[in-house]
Amino acid sequence: MAGEISFDVVNKIDQQEVENALNMAAKEVRNRFDFKGTDAAIRRSGEAIAMEANGEERVKAILDVFKTMLIRRKIDVKSLSTGEPKLSGKLWHIIADMQAGISADNARKIAKLIRDEGPKGVRTQIQGDELRVFSKKRDDLQVVQKLIRDADYDFAVQFANYR
């Protein structure tokens, strides 16, 4: 075995799947009986996703529908960042967006976890919005992956580029 083995801790979002989930949610909002005549809508607004309805509970229900569609499309809901419902005129609004990549602070949290609780000989390196994990032993990397999965952070993580 020559050299070190590595993998990347990332947060990648398939934009096509997000678009599919958005379209499915919009269709359900248009067709559901409890949204009839409520001015309820969900749509893309630039990079953000805008939801609106004539009541605070209804706009939260639209958000729940969208989250359900994301789960069906196998997108981690932790990637969705939502604001609080706001009243504007006679409609309630929620603005949400998808957070891709791992921030430097979150990468440091993961690196600290690996340093404190991971196997000896495992190194980490922050590379932009990714965290690369190195080791000489494949088994150590699998232990680190399990450690990160079990940590249950408030942001989404995936493992990529395993080599």
Domain 15-98: CATH superfamily is: YajQ-like, domain 2 (3.30.70.990)
> Average pLDDT in the 56-60 region?
93
Per cent of the chain over pLDDT 70 is 99
- Domain map (residue ranges) of the chain: 5-12+102-160, 15-98
Predicted pLDDT of residue 163: 81
Angle ∠(119,124,150) on CA atoms, nearest 5: 55
Asked if residue 39 has pLDDT above 90, the reply is no
Give the C-alpha separation, 16 to 22, whole Å. 10
Q: Is the pLDDT of residue 1 over 50?
A: no
Average pLDDT over residues 112-121: 92
Q: Residue 96, SS3?
A: strand
Work out the burial of residue 32: count CB atoms within 10 Å of its CB; fewer than 13 is exposed, 13-18 middle, 19 or more buried: middle
Residue 63 confidence (pLDDT) above 90 = yes
Q: Which CATH number fits domain 5-12+102-160: 2.40.110.10, 3.40.50.300, 3.30.830.10, 3.30.70.860?
A: 3.30.70.860
**By C-alpha distance, which of 119, 95, 103 is closest to 157?**
103
Q: Are 132 and 145 in contact (CB under 8 A)?
A: no
- pLDDT, the chain, mean: 92
Average pLDDT over residues 12-41: 92
Q: Is 161 left (phi over 0), alpha (psi -120 to 50) or beta?
A: left
Q: How far is CA 37 from the centre of its chain?
A: 32
pLDDT at residue 2 is higher than 60? no
What is the identity of the amino acid at 153?
A: Y
Q: Are 62 and 80 in contact (CB under 8 A)?
A: no
pLDDT surpasses 90 at 47:
no
Mean pLDDT of 10-37: 93
| Cα→Cα distances 23→31, 124, 135, 145, Å | 12, 39, 43, 33
**Mean pLDDT, to the nearest integer, of 82-103?**
93
Does the fold of domain 15-98 match that of domain 5-12+102-160? yes
pLDDT band at 115 (very low <50, low <70, confident <90, very high): very high
Identity of the residue numbered 2:
A
Does this model's pTM top 0.75? My answer is yes
Q: Is the pLDDT of residue 140 over 70?
A: yes
* Element housing 22 (H / E): helix 15-31
Cβ atoms 156, 12 nearer than 8 A: no
